[in-house]
A and B are shown apart, each in its own frame.
Chain A
Amino acid sequence: MRILLFGIAKDIAGAPVITAEGITSVAALRSWLYAKYPSLEQLRSLMIAVNKVYANDEDVLQPGDEVAVIPPVSGG
């Protein structure tokens, strides 16, 4: 599964796209991200978007989903 990263999350991971295998829920993805990149846990918030919509931790991930890591937004 490809995972898109933006802003400070991209800087922390050191790449705009990373891949993960065998992750089937947003909660599992969150745990995987925190284990791999502990600095993500220091952020004010961390949202996950699935197919361009904000997701909840209990949401299921399918192999073809477009998954994105959304650190605190700061537009405007």
Chain B
Amino acid sequence: MNKLIKIDSNVTVQQALDFVEGPDCGGVVVFSGNVRNVTKEKKVTRLFFECYEPMALLEMEKIADYTIEKMGVKRIAILHIVGEKQPGEVVVVIAVAAPHRAAAFDACEHAIDTLKETVPIWKKEYFEDGEVWVAAHP
């Protein structure tokens, strides 16, 4: 198996790394997306993530397949949480292994950029004085 796709209440960098590392790959790149404590100078107290899980998993699979078939990746892990998270906690992890580092860097950036555009997951930011679904309005 060359891809690990998962949506769960908790994910870790380690589980992604453990899946992708191997002696055939000299380059391993990991992206960890964590909850930031401020948005546009307003303090963020927590985030809530909701997803359309069966479709989200399919879209994550498509991203993984593309990096393997078109970008020279040997193994990829794409992990995303659902539910509530506090500032500093991990929300998404992408780990990519390729024989050489250039392909791993490119594929990791492609994977997170595409995930943010296509995977049906929604994030609500909670502030001290309210809450907002991120990016919902122009």
Residues of A that sit less than 8 Å from B by CB: 4, 6-8, 11, 42-44, 49, 52-54, 68, 70-76
- Is the beta-carbon distance between B135 and A75 smaller than 8 angstroms? no
Residues of B that sit less than 8 Å from A by CB: 33, 49-52, 54-56, 58, 80, 91-92, 112, 115-124, 133-138
Bound Cα distance from A48 to B59, whole angstroms? 14
- Is the beta-carbon distance between A49 and B55 smaller than 8 angstroms? yes
- Chain B residues, CB < 8 A from A44: 135-138
Bound Cα distance from A72 to B52, whole angstroms? 13
Please give the distance in Å from A73's CB to the nearest CB on chain B.
6
In order of increasing CB-CB distance, the 9 nearest A-B pairs are A75-B121, A7-B122, A74-B134, A52-B55, A8-B133, A74-B123, A8-B136, A76-B116, A74-B135
Please tell me which one of the listed residues B58, B119, B137, B138 contacts residue A75 in the complex, with CB atoms under 8 A apart.
Answer: B119
Bound Cα distance from A66 to B118, whole angstroms? 18
Known contacts A4-B52, A7-B50, A49-B52; is A73 also within 8 Å of B122 by CB? yes
- Is the beta-carbon distance between A76 and B133 smaller than 8 angstroms? no
- Is the beta-carbon distance between A76 and B136 smaller than 8 angstroms? no
- Is the beta-carbon distance between A7 and B136 smaller than 8 angstroms? yes
Please give the distance in Å from B124's CB to the nearest CB on chain A.
8
- Is the beta-carbon distance between B133 and A75 smaller than 8 angstroms? no
CB-nearest residue of chain B relative to A49? B55
